[in-house]
Amino acid sequence: MNIVDIIEKKKRGTKLLKEEIDFFVQGYSDSVIPDYQISALLMAIWFNGMDSEETTELTLAMVKSGKILDLFQIKGIKVDKHSSGGVADTVSLPLVALVATNGVPVAKMSGRGLGYSGGTIDKLEAIPNFRVEIPIEEFIDHVNRNGGAIVAQSNDLVVADKKLYALRDVTGTVDSIPLIAASIMSKKIAAGSDAVLLDIKVGNGAFIKNLEDAKRLAKIMVDIGTLAGRETVAYITDMNQPLGDAIGNSIEVEEVVEVLKGNGGKRLVRVIEVLGGEMLRLGGKVQNETEGRHKIKEAIHNGTGLKKFKTIIQAQGGDANIIEDFSLLPQARFKIPVFASESGYISAIKAEAIGRLAVSLGAGRTKKDEKIDLAVGILFPKKVGGFIERNEKIALILASDAEEGNRAAKSFLNCVELKKEQVKPLSLFYYRISKEEIKKLSDE
C-alpha cells in the first residue's frame, strides 16, 4: 500500500477503504509517513470530505493508535460529556459535581485550551494545589469514592489525534467536519465511558458557524458513538454570544462556585440543567431528561452540588477554601472598567472577538505549550436583547499589564452592536440528536 495512492484517491473524491485508513493513521502514528504527505491528505479530506463510514473507520483507527482505558472497576453507568468549544463555556466543572451528586459516576478526562476556546484543565489549575495529573488507579478510586473526578487527558491515549491535531492547526484544516468528529469521538471512546453526551456549539463564537454544519457534525458523532457501542446524544446550543459572564480561568472558577450557590447567569445555568438532566437519563437514574433536569435544579438549590464540588477539589489536593474566599485564586493586578459610549439594545455580540481579546491578555494560548496567565480575563454579564445606558459600566477587563488592559478595554466596544429598537433575545437550544431522531428544541 502506498500513501501517494491514498492521497491521489482522496484528491479525486473517492471513498477510502478501512485498510487504507488504518495504513495512514498507523503509519503517521509510528512516524513512518512524514508530515508533508499527511498534510496533503488532510487538505484533500478538507476539500472532498468523508462519509459516515469513512469517518467511523478513521475514528476507530485513531482509537487503536494508543491506550484504551478500562474503567470496569468503576461502579455504575459512566457518562462522559464533551463540548465542541466556545467562549465562557463554564459548563463542565459544575456539571460534573451536579451529576455525580445524583449518583451517576463521571470519569472525565479534559484538555487544555488552544486559541479563544478555554480549557477545563486550565481552569482547574487556577485552584491552588489542584492535581490534574494523577495515576489511573487513583483516578478510578476518586470516581468510586466521590462520584466524579476531572483529570488531564493521558498522553498515551489516541496518539494519532495529538499528531494529527497539531498538523491540522498549522495547515488550515481544523474546521473539517469529519476530522473534528473523529478527533472528539476517538478520545471519548478511548476514555472508557459507557455513554457520551455531546454539546455542539454553533455561532460566531464557535468553530462551527452555521446550523446545517452543526447538525451534520452532531449526526456523524452520534452515529460513530452508536457504532462503537456507546449510547450517544448530542445537543446543538447557541454560541453567538458568550455563554456565561466570565472569560478567563480564575474568574470562571469563581463563576462555577456562584452557579453552585444558585447565583449563576440564566443561560449558563439553563445549559447545565438540560445537559445534566440528559446525563442522569443516560446514567439510568431517571426515566427522561425532564425528570433529570429537576434533580439537577434541586442539587443546586439544596447545596449538595456545591458540597460535591468541594469534595472533588479536596480529593485532588486542591484548596477548597476558594469556595468561600476568592482571593485565594490568582488575582489580576489591574481592573479596567469598560463604559458604553451610547445607549441602546444589544443586537449582536462578537463572541469570538471577545475570546481573542481574552487571549491577548494572556488568558489563552496561541501555541500548544504556551504558558497562560490564570488571573486575567474579561467579565461581561450583558446578553443580546438587554438594554444599556450611555456611560454604563458594561464589562471589566482583568489584566496583568496596564497597557494591554487599556488596549483591550478600547477594543471591547467594537465587539458589541447596539440598536435603538428592542431586540429579541437569542435562542439557546436548537436540536437534540439521538440515534432515533433529530428533534427541534424550543427554549421553554
Q: Do 121 and 255 fall into the same domain? A: yes
pLDDT at 353: 96
- pLDDT level of residue 249 (50, 70, 90 thresholds): very high
Element at 440 (helix H, strand E): strand 438-440
The answer to the question of residue 219 being in a domain is yes
Q: Which of 81, 123, 142, 187 is catalytic?
A: 187
Q: Do 218 and 253 fall into the same domain? A: yes
Beta bridge partners of 339: 393
The answer to the question of residue 74 being in a domain is no
The answer to the question of residue 390 being in a domain is yes
Give, to the nearest 10 degrees, the angle between helix 402-412 and helix 351-361. Answer: 170
Q: Do 33 and 55 fall into the same domain? A: yes
Residue-number span of the structural domain to which 413 is assigned:
331-419
User: What's the gap between Cα 347 and its chain centre?
Assistant: 26
CA distance 68 to 66: 7
Q: Do 192 and 119 fall into the same domain? A: yes
Q: Do 93 and 57 fall into the same domain? A: no
Q: Does the annotation count 82 as an active-site position?
A: yes
The answer to the question of residue 366 being in a domain is yes
Q: Does the annotation count 161 as an active-site position?
A: yes
Q: Which of 168, 219, 356, 432 is catalytic?
A: 168
pTM for the full predicted model: 0.93
The answer to the question of residue 69 being in a domain is no
The answer to the question of residue 310 being in a domain is yes
Check: CB of residue 296 under 8 Å from CB of residue 96. Answer: no
Q: Do 263 and 395 fall into the same domain? A: no
CATH code for the domain in which residue 14 is found: 1.20.970.10
The answer to the question of residue 73 being in a domain is no
Quick one: cell of 245?
Answer: 459572564
Mean pLDDT of 225-248: 96
pLDDT at 114: 64
Lowest mean pLDDT among 35-44, 149-158, 304-313, 414-423: 149-158
CATH code for the domain in which residue 338 is found: 3.90.1170.30
Q: Which of 81, 82, 188, 293 is catalytic?
A: 82
Check: CB of residue 313 under 8 Å from CB of residue 319. Answer: yes
Q: Do 267 and 408 fall into the same domain? A: no
Q: Do 186 and 287 fall into the same domain? A: yes
The answer to the question of residue 68 being in a domain is no
Q: Do 34 and 129 fall into the same domain? A: no
CA distance 195 to 432: 16
Q: Which of 84, 110, 183, 193 is catalytic?
A: 183
What are the pLDDT digits (tens) for 339-393?
A: 999 999 999 999 999 999 999 999 988 776 778 999 999 999 999 999 999 999 9
CA distance 80 to 444: 25
pLDDT at 443: 65
Q: Does the annotation count 250 as an active-site position?
A: no
Q: Do 403 and 258 fall into the same domain? A: no
Q: Structurally, how many domains does the chain consist of?
A: 3
Mean pLDDT of 245-261: 97
pLDDT at 30 exceeding the cut of 70:
yes
Check: CB of residue 52 under 8 Å from CB of residue 223. Answer: yes
Q: Do 309 and 345 fall into the same domain? A: no
Query: Can you tell me whether residue 377 is helix, strand or coil?
Result: strand
Q: Do 220 and 285 fall into the same domain? A: yes
Query: Can you tell me whether residue 398 is helix, strand or coil?
Result: strand
CATH code for the domain in which residue 189 is found: 3.40.1030.10
pLDDT at 368: 66
CA distance 74 to 143: 7
